[in-house]
């Protein structure tokens, strides 16, 4: 029988750090290859963004922070020149100046070894340096060595990402369950009062309408959950709808939530009709998520403004509030799965970091884009928005895809 008492117990205060395994593998690759320094990154080709994950002979921290854009530009330049393993000049590049300020590189070669790698839908890029010209060449053995590092990194990152997504999804589902249960409880209370004759006449009709709006809001929450967890979400067979109607429907669905925090919902648009084509329920859910977020993070007894602006080819929905500050370092990440801002965590505001991710997922499926603009200090004005193509543009886009 297994004995817990006599078995080995690892120290409870030490948890495995996934970056350590990747760092060790990358260091060994460079040492075996007689290279003196390098950086290993994950590359997002769609967004043209880099995430440094390991380094050797060069500090990693600056390139994960303020100097990240220099690394971005260098990788883009390398990929434009030759999207395969090759030697790439660096001595005149701004990245080289930055590395020179961090490290004595007088003996280094003035060309870097650029090795892109792809495995299981993940892009990796390694940029390596040598102090000997004999060691710097994009030969088969170097590519084989980095392939092993990439396999280790991909396995570790994939496992870590899956764990993080499951943890966040668990929180999200728990919050969704609580919200739905609270909403259903409020609906049941209204209907019981009517059925028992406690509320009659016009007041009963008003309560039935409130219950209907709450049911629709609950339905939207449940329907959005399906979009969030569907890795292959697309708008399928969409239809025609009016953006102005969508705005007014969202305001009705969010009125009770706004009233609880004494938030006034305002709207602003110049056209009486904005024709769109797509998944009308999903766009309504996306706008509703932005409004509910604005209400949640708004300063008490203030107002939230929902706007629609139209150009020749696109329509933009935007939601503005005066609320909790969003730090500059958070602005690029607010649309990521599971991301929560530092201020929201400090203030213990409920949330799971999935709502804005779902908005971006819906908007991207419509061929659109999301945006955030902030101004102010501790309490600031924040405008979350998304832009989608108009009816004719979107239909043309889908016809092209289906050919």
**Which residues span the domain enclosing 293?**
234-402
Rounded to whole angstroms, what are the CA distances from 23 to 13, 152, 159, 166?
Answer: 21, 10, 16, 25
Tell me the pTM.
0.59
Query: pLDDT value at position 395?
Result: 53
Query: pLDDT value at position 397?
Result: 52
Do residues 359 and 343 touch, judged by C-beta distance below 8 A?
Answer: no
Residues 261 and 378 in one domain: yes
Q: Does residue 226 form part of some domain?
A: no
At residue 44, the 3 state secondary structure works out as: strand
Residues 241 and 379 in one domain: yes
| Composition of the chain by helix, strand, coil, percent to 5 | 50, 20, 30
Residue 45, beta-bridge partner list:
none
Residues 26 and 102 in one domain: yes
Residues 185 and 153 in one domain: no
Query: pLDDT value at position 400?
Result: 45
Residues 173 and 249 in one domain: no
pLDDT in tens, the chain (403 residues): 777 777 776 666 554 566 788 899 999 989 988 889 999 999 988 777 889 999 999 988 888 888 888 899 999 989 988 889 998 888 777 888 888 888 877 788 888 899 999 887 789 999 999 887 676 777 878 888 888 888 888 888 888 878 877 877 787 777 778 778 888 888 899 899 999 999 989 999 988 888 887 787 777 777 777 787 777 788 867 889 999 999 999 998 888 889 888 999 999 998 888 999 999 989 999 999 999 889 988 888 899 999 999 988 899 999 999 987 777 777 778 888 777 665 555 554 555 568 898 899 999 999 999 999 988 765 688 999 999 998 755 555 554 444 4
Residues 69 and 52 in one domain: yes
Domain total for the chain?
3
Nearest-10 crossing angle of helices 18-32, 140-195: 170
Residue found under tokens 């990693």: 60
Residues 261 and 149 in one domain: no
Residues 178 and 107 in one domain: no
Q: Does residue 138 form part of some domain?
A: yes
250: CATH? 3.30.565.10
Residue 149, beta-bridge partner list:
none
Q: Does residue 365 form part of some domain?
A: yes
Residues 184 and 248 in one domain: no
Rounded to an integer, what distance in angstroms lies between the CA atom of residue 230 and that of residue 101? 46
Residues 35 and 122 in one domain: yes
Q: Does residue 2 form part of some domain?
A: no
Residue found under tokens 């004005």: 381
Rounded to whole angstroms, what are the CA distances from 88 to 102, 146, 160, 215, 330?
Answer: 20, 17, 32, 60, 33
Rounded to whole angstroms, what are the CA distances from 69 to 80, 84, 204, 307, 374?
Answer: 16, 21, 60, 33, 21
138: CATH? 3.30.450.40
Do residues 235 and 273 touch, judged by C-beta distance below 8 A?
Answer: no
DSSP state of 272: S
Domain boundary residue among 144, 162, 180? 162
Q: Which residues of 187-209 are buried (b: 16+ CB within 10 A; e: fewer)?
A: beebeeebeeeebeeeebeebee
Q: Does residue 326 form part of some domain?
A: yes
Q: Does residue 221 form part of some domain?
A: no
Residues 177 and 79 in one domain: no
Residues 87 and 185 in one domain: no
Q: Does residue 286 form part of some domain?
A: yes
Q: Does residue 222 form part of some domain?
A: no
């Amino acid at each position: 029988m297994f004995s817990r008492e006599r078995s080995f117990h690892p120290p409870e205060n030490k948890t495995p750090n996934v970056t350590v395994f990747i760092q060790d593998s990358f260091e060994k690759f460079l040492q075996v290859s007689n290279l003196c320094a390098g950086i290993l990154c994950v590359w997002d080709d769609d967004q043209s963004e880099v995430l440094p994950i390991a380094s050797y002979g060069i500090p990693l921290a600056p390139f994960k922070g303020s100097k990240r854009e220099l690394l971005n530009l260098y990788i883009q330049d390398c990929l434009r020149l030759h999207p395969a393993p090759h030697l790439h000049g660096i001595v005149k590049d701004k990245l080289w100046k930055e590395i020179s300020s961090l490290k004595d590189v007088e003996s280094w070669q003035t060309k870097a070894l650029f090795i892109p790698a792809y495995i299981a839908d993940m892009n990796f890029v390694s940029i390596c340096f040598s102090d000997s010209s004999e060691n710097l060449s994009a030969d088969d053995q170097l590519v084989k060595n980095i392939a092993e590092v990439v396999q280790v990194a991909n396995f570790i990152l994939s496992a870590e990402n899956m764990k993080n997504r499951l943890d966040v999804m668990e929180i999200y589902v728990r919050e969704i369950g609580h919200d739905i249960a609270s909403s259903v409880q409020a609906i049941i209370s209204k209907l019981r009062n009517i059925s028992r004759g406690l509320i009659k006449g016009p007041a009963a009709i008003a309560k039935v309408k409130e219950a209907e709006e709450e049911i629709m809001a609950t339905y939207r929450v449940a329907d959005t959950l399906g979009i969030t967890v569907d890795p292959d979400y697309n708008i399928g067979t969409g239809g025609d709808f009016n953006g102005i109607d969508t705005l007014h429907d969202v305001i009705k669905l969010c009125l009770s939530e706004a009233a609880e925090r004494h938030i006034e919902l305002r709207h602003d648009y110049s056209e009486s009709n904005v024709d769109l084509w797509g998944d009308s329920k999903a766009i309504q859910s996306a706008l509703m998520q932005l409004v509910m977020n604005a209400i949640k993070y708004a300063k008490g007894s203030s107002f939230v403004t929902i706007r629609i602006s139209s150009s020749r080819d696109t329509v933009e929905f935007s939601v503005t509030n005066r609320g909790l500050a969003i730090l500059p370092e958070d602005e690029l990440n607010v649309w990521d799965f599971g991301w929560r801002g530092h201020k929201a965590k400090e203030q213990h505001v409920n949330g799971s970091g999935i709502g804005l991710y779902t908005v971006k997922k819906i908007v991207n499926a419509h061929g659109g884009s999301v945006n955030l603009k902030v101004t102010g200090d501790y309490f600031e004005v924040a405008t979350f928005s998304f832009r989608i193509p108009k009816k004719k543009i979107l239909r043309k886009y889908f016809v092209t895809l289906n050919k």
